[in-house]
Structure 1
Amino acid sequence: MSAGLPLELWLPAHQRFSPAHPLQRLLARADRLDHGPRGYLAGLQHYFSCTGAQLPAAALTRQQLAGDADDALWLSADPCWVQAEMNGARLLACGQLGLDMEQAQALAQPLRPVFGDAGMQLELSSPDRWHLRLPGGSPIPTFAAPEQALGEDLFQHLPQGPKGRRWRVLINEIQVLLHQHPLNSDRRAQGLPPVNSLWLWGGGVLPHQVSTRWASVVSDDLLLQALARKAGVACQSRSADAVRAAQAGTLVDLQDLPVAQIEQDWWPTLDELLRRQPVTLAFADGGRWRHGPWHRLRFWRAGRAR
């Protein structure tokens, strides 16, 4: 399954790394590969193949967190922060808003009847990951993933047309209830962003089969961990020891980390890997390079990779 695959590092966009960082010098001496997928979901679909056309993120993450996805139809409903503006609203954060389970349950309490009236059941799988269980066969419009909408006008990513009207009304009602919630008043008083909306995305049913070429994965990303588990692939949490011990056939996921953290905290470990074995460096913007330890001897190649 992983025959011939080197170790692969999945990293943030290449252009976000400092031009002066040693990584750029190594890339200048490495072999440039064909362009790969751009973005988080495209990357996951490149590394893992699911039965069905879409990646059912909601069902996969529900199964990973609660183990009860079964054959139900799921939709992610993750707590988020939407900033109102003169001509609309903008998605500024989704998940990772510092909620504990008690706070999450308090926010969800007035929302449950609204979803119940719409035939949906709201489940809090974790403080940052909420899920809707929908009746089987329910039509679900295409919802944008959070990565596709962050920083952009909310209206551009809402389901449009007559079929989307039900969802737009539902989202608006949820936003009104959350805006009025006393917990958000407390958060504003503490200088914290409000949890004033839910981001709906990733609908579908748990796939019967997930396959991958990789023998093992190192990642802290919930959806990637869920895919690895469904594919029957060993998955370790991200740590310096786990990355240091990674061998050929392993996918090491660092794409969600701040670039500054990779350049400073993680670079000694990554440099050790690059000195020891061939590594494919795959960046979130699609750039890909293959680096072998012997490439450091290509002194005639200097400067920054392009």
Structure 2
Amino acid sequence: MSDPTHLLIAFAAGGTPAAKEALRAMRLPRLERLLQRLQPLPPEPVDELAPEAPHERALARALGLDSGAGRTPWAALALQRAGGAPGPHAWAWITPCHWRVGMDQVLMQDPAALELHDEHARELFAALQAWFADDGIELNLETPQRWLARGELFRDLVSASLDRVSGRDVAAWMPESPQARILHRLQSEMQMLLYTHPVNDARAAQGLPAVNSFWVSGAGALPPTVPEISAPALDLSLRESALRQDWAAWAQAWQQLDATRGAALLAAQERGEPVRLTLCGERAWQTFESAPRRLFQRVSGFFGTKPASMRLEQL
């Protein structure tokens, strides 16, 4: 279950000059009021090449599953929360994707842009399943866009999240470990198989990008005891426009978020309920929380004039 009194906003800031320009032009009145009334905790920096984005690191910490960047067992956790039984096994997500090969880099297109529907996904799944099985990986077709995999090689695998690698050169995010060599070989074999697969001929005829690779994320096994902690309410409404670097659309989404979930959190704070707000950019995340009134008066007096845009730029 998610905790409605703790809002965690992903992609709240961007690192490019265009993103900062869009941020400075925005008006976010509810966010401004919340930041004036809540106590800031120290920012938590995240290396730009870390395999998980700041919002994923913040969520892992909040859930008591912070075992290191790229080692959060998201797939196993999702299986458990859906009513499944991950047991002691190691799990991961396999995402069909499109890699755009250039002269000096290989960019991963956002997998959502594949528009991979059920028929094509099932044909590709049938073709790839046996190859994965040869390497001890059991595949399950969870959704057309995301397949669930079980295999011992995922147990200690450091895997980069899709939110980290989408739209970027995959070279910086490829896993490096003994078991990763198996995945690299499997990726090479699947790229050759997919190059001539009839599904990609059909997709080309429809003007859709080819499915020419896959990505592994969320790898790992759950600890024997998972803490009974309510997750923060994760908001991903800024994700799509941020990954496209469409900062005009991102600014519009931010203003909509401010007017809806921002307004709801502010109303809860004004009713005297303890609330928390975690803002996550590309390089850091920071939490703001309710404070006792006397402390609140000191904090608001010291921090109250700092615009929200300046806080967000630091993320």
TM-score, length basis structure 2: 0.69
1:281 equivalent in structure 2? 277
Measure the CA separation in 2 of the matches of 1:184 and 1:126.
19
Q: Which residue of 1 aligns with 2:42?
A: 34
- The 3 A distance-change label for structure 1 pair 12 and 201 is closer
Q: What is residue 240 of structure 1 aligned with on the other side?
A: none
**Equivalent position amino acid for 1:41 in 2:** E
Larger displacement relative to structure 2 (192-201 or 13-22): 13-22
| Structure 1 position 116 matched with structure 2 position 116 | no
Deviation at 1:47, TM superposition (A): 0.9
**Pick aligned residue for 1:254 from 227, 230, 235:** 235
Provide, for residues 144-197 of structure 1, a one-character-per-residue CA deviation record: whole Å limited to 9, x for no partner: 222232233222322347654332111111122223222223333333333221
- Paired AA for residue 280 in structure 2: A
Distance of 1:207 and 1:96 partners within structure 2: 34
Q: Equivalents in 1 of 2:221, 2:42: separation in Å?
A: 33
| Mapped pair 1:18 → 2:33 | no
- Deviations for 1:265-294, whole angstroms, at most 9, x for unmatched residues? 661452243134253321113133347999
Match of 1:183 among 192, 199, 214: 199
> Is contact 2:157-2:220 (8 Å) kept?
no
Q: Which amino acid aligns with 1:253?
A: L
* SS of corresponding position for 1:59: helix
Distance 1:189 1:116 in 2: 31
1:146 aligned residue: 162
Structure 2 residue aligned with 1:270, among 254, 262, 268?
262
Does the alignment pair 1:7 with 2:5? yes
1:167 aligned counterpart, secondary structure = helix
How many residue pairs are counted as aligned between the two chains? 265
Q: Relative to structure 2, which stretch is displaced further, 15-24 or 116-125?
A: 15-24
User: How much does 1:204 deviate?
Assistant: 2.1
Find the aligned partners of 1:137 and 1:197 in 2 and give their Cα distance.
Answer: 19
Amino acid at match of 1:34: P
The 3 A distance-change label for structure 1 pair 73 and 281 is closer
Given the superposition, is the C-alpha separation of residues 63 and 197 from structure 1 closer, same or farther in structure 2, using an over 3 Å criterion? farther
Gaps of 5+ in 1: 218-250
- 2:155–2:220 CA contact under 8 A, matched in 1: no
Contact 2:157–2:177 (CA<8 Å) still a contact in 1? Answer: no
> What does 1:1-306 correspond to in 2, within 5 Å?
7-16=5-14, 18-19=23-24, 20-23=26-29, 25-26=32-33, 29-30=36-37, 31-36=39-44, 38=46, 39-50=54-65, 54-65=71-82, 67-94=84-111, 97-134=114-151, 136=152, 140-160=156-176, 164-211=180-227, 213-214=229-230, 217=231, 251-258=232-239, 259=250, 260-264=252-256, 267-277=259-269, 279-285=275-281, 286-290=285-289, 301=305, 303-306=307-310
Q: Relative to 1, partners in 2 of residues 1:279 and 1:41: Cα closer, same or farther, differing over 3 Å? A: same
* In structure 2, C-alpha distance between the alignment counterparts of 1:95 and 1:172, rounded to whole Å: 22
Of residues 20-29 and 72-81 in structure 1, the stretch that sits farther from structure 2 once superposed is 20-29
For structure 2, which runs of at least 5 residues remain unmatched after alignment? 15-21, 47-53, 240-249, 311-315
Pair 1:108–1:272, CA change in 2 (3 A): closer
Give 2:63's aligned amino acid: F
User: Does the residue aligned with 1:172 lie in a helix, a strand or coil?
Assistant: helix
TM-fit CA distance, 1:84: 1.0
Task: State the match for 2:313 in structure 1.
Answer: none
In 2, the alpha carbon distance for the partners of 1:196 and 1:151 equals: 15
Larger CA deviation: 69-78 vs 254-263: 254-263
C-alpha distance in 2, partners of 1:110/1:79?
Answer: 13
Q: Report if the CA contact (8 A) 1:81-1:92 is conserved.
A: yes
State percent identity of aligned pairs. 26
Q: Is the 8 A contact 2:12 2:238 kept in 1?
A: no
Taking structure 1 as reference, are residues 179 and 143 closer, same or farther at Cα in structure 2, changes over 3 Å only?
A: same
Aligned-residue CA RMSD in angstroms? 3.6
Q: Secondary structure at the match of 1:111?
A: helix
**Partner secondary structure for residue 98 of structure 2:** strand
Q: Which amino acid aligns with 1:42?
A: R
Q: Does the 8 A contact of 1:27 with 1:291 survive in 2?
A: no
Q: Offset at 1:137?
A: 7.2
